[in-house]
Structure formats: C-alpha cells, structure tokens
Amino acid sequence: MHLHLLLILALFRAGCVVAGPSYSLSGSWRVSNGNGSLELPATVPGYVHSALHQHGLIQDPYYRFNDLNYRWISLDNWTYSTEFKIPFNLSEWQKVKLIFDGVDTVAEILFNNVTIGKTDNMFTGYSFDVTNVVKDVNSLKLQFRSAVQYAECQSKAHTSYRVPPECPPVEQKGECHVNFIRKGLL
C-alpha cells in the first residue's frame, strides 16, 4: 500500500473568496499496522514501504522479487497519525478546511477522534470542512484499509455483471480486481 498526501490547513473568512493563511502538515508523522505490532516514524508525503525501508524493517522493495516478499504490507491496514498545534489565532477565522492534494487510497479520516470523511480515489484531491472540530492542539489520523482487500470486496459486492479481467496474467504476479479501485499502483 502506498500513501501520498500533502495537507494544508487553510483558514477562510466567512463569505470571502480570498483564502486566509495555510499551514502545511507535511513532515514527520507516525504509521502503525492493523494489529499495532509495528509503529514507526513516517514522512508525509511518503509511503509505508519507504518508512519501513528507512527504518531497516524491510530491504529495498524494488530489488529482485522483494515486491512478492513484501506482499504482506499491502494486505495489512495502516494508520498514519500526527498531532499539531495551530499557529494562528483560530477565533479570528470563520472557516477552517483540511485539504489533501492526494490520498492513496481507501481511508477514513479522524480529526480529533471525529470521522470527518472518507477517501477512495487517489486521482483526486479532497477538502473537508473542519471548522466544528478544530482546536488549538489537534490529532489527525488516516486509517488506511488494505487496497487489495478493498478491491476484492468491491468485486464480490458487484454481482450484476462481470468486469474482466479479474486478475492480471500470472507472469505479472500482480493483484486482482484493479478495476474496482481508483488507484495507480496495487
């Protein structure tokens, strides 16, 4: 599973088309796997594979057949989390938006422990109004679901007609049901 996201917290005055100040959430986050057995620092924008590689937990995923050895990574769920302080005086602004340039791919987004939205398409940006949940100090979590499992579930749920091909040719050793998810790499 790969993740790329760039976040900007933008503050807007009500009824005004001019954007206020923004605050980038790129940088140092943490990532953990589904059962919590792994937790490590991770850079945003970035990928789970690169975080694991940087911390010596896996070898170069592009070397020889390492993509097959590391298939478990794409079958697990991964949560990216961070905490941050707003460097502006919030009470001077009427609207606060959380903007993602890209999220790869299927995630539930929790802002201060409140679900503010979901994503399922890495080819688009996302913007969420967080005015009602934002505080001076905030926690942000993106709970990513295994893209491979998601695509398989979507395929199973689609019973009205077949959408070929179900799987790529075996020689390619790729994942099945790529046509059920808006994702570049699976």
Ligand X SMILES: *[C@@H]1O[C@H](CO)[C@@H](O)[C@H](O)[C@H]1NC(C)=O
Instruction: List residues near ligand X by CB under 6 A.
Output: 33-35, 37, 72, 76-77, 89, 91-92, 113, 145-146
The CA–CA distances, whole Å, from 68 to 59, 65, 138 equal 12, 6, 38
Residue 15 or 169 with smaller CB distance to ligand X? 15
Cβ proximity to ligand X: between 1 and 98 the closer is 1
- In the bound complex, what is the minimum distance in angstroms from residue 137's beta carbon to ligand X? 12
Alpha carbons 96 and 43: distance in angstroms, whole number = 24
Q: Which residues contact 80 (CB under 8 A, 6 or more apart)?
A: 3, 5, 29, 30, 31, 42, 44, 141, 142, 144
Query: Least Å distance between CB 171 and ligand X?
Result: 27
Indicate the residue among 80 and 169 with the shorter CB distance to ligand X. Answer: 80
Cα–Cα separations (whole angstroms), residue 162 to 77, 157, 166: 27, 11, 9
Taking the complex as a whole, the smallest distance from the CB of residue 74 to ligand X amounts, in Å, to 11
Kindly state the smallest distance separating residue 77's Cβ from ligand X, in Å: 4
Nearer to ligand X, 89 or 172 (CB): 89
Between the alpha carbon of residue 91 and those of residues 13, 22, 180, the distances in Å are 11, 15, 43
- In the bound state, the residue with its beta carbon closest to ligand X is 34
The rounded Cα 112 to chain-centroid distance in angstroms is 17
Tokens encoding 162:
């077949």
What's the closest the beta carbon of residue 138 comes to ligand X, in angstroms? 12
Nearer to ligand X, 157 or 170 (CB): 157
Q: How far apart are CA 126 and CA 144, in angstroms?
A: 15
